[in-house]
Structures are given as C-alpha cells and as structure tokens.
Amino acid sequence: MRQEEIDDQVFELYDEYCHGAINRREFFRRAGQLTIAGASGLAMAEALMPNYADAQEIQFTDERIKANWVDYASPGGTSGTMRGYLVVPQGEGPFPAVLVMHENRGLNP
C-alpha cells in the first residue's frame, strides 16, 4: 500500500500511538473500525507499522563482519552504564561508520 492510499485518519491514529496517547491494542481497535473508500483502516494501519525483519540485510554471523554488544560508561557518569551494538567489517580499517540512536519510542527502521 502506498502512502497516498492511506487516509489521514489512520495517520492521526498512528501519531497518537507513536506519541503514547494510545497503546498498540487501542490503535488497532480504532483502525479496524475505519473503512475508507472501500479500503480497511486496519490494512492501512498495518502498512504504517515497521517491519523490523525487513530491515535486516545481513546475518550477525556473516563472516565478513564482527558483531558484539559493547558496554561503556555514560558521558559524565550520570546515566550509569550504556550499551551499544557494534558491528565492524573484518580486516584492516579505517572504515566508515554508521551511528544509530533510538528515539524515545524505540529503535525504528
């Protein structure tokens, strides 16, 4: 389903869900009550939800990379120990880097 096919009412519901005004169950319940131009609001809502499996392009066991969790102290020591997932190519560097920071609603692709 393309973005243009999703009704604004479903986007508004999704916004409420993302910002914590409603939970996932309420989001799908209310979306399921919508039928817009013959299309199910539930189908539109599911099109908006991230599919985390689609984001994975390489297995963590791939021989070309080294992947592991890294624990480190927070800057200034005010938040205790932080945790990150570090993946680097095998071999000699230097390598480019991608830093992924999650938002307050979790890590979304």
pLDDT digits (tens, 9 = 90+) for 64-109: 998 888 888 888 878 788 888 888 899 898 988 777 766 666 655 5
Cα separation, 31 vs 78, whole angstroms: 41
Pick from 7, 4, 3: nearest CA to 38? 7
Q: Are residues 15 and 34 in the same domain?
A: yes
Buried b vs exposed e over 61-72: b needs ≥16 C-beta within 10 Å? Answer: eeeeeeeeeeee
Q: Are residues 102 and 60 in the same domain?
A: yes
Q: Are residues 17 and 66 in the same domain?
A: no
pLDDT of residue 101: 67
Q: Are residues 43 and 63 in the same domain?
A: no
CB contact at 8 A, 95 and 86: no
Query: What pTM did the predictor assign?
Result: 0.42
Q: Which two tokens stand for residue 84?
A: 């990150």
* Counted domains in the chain: 2
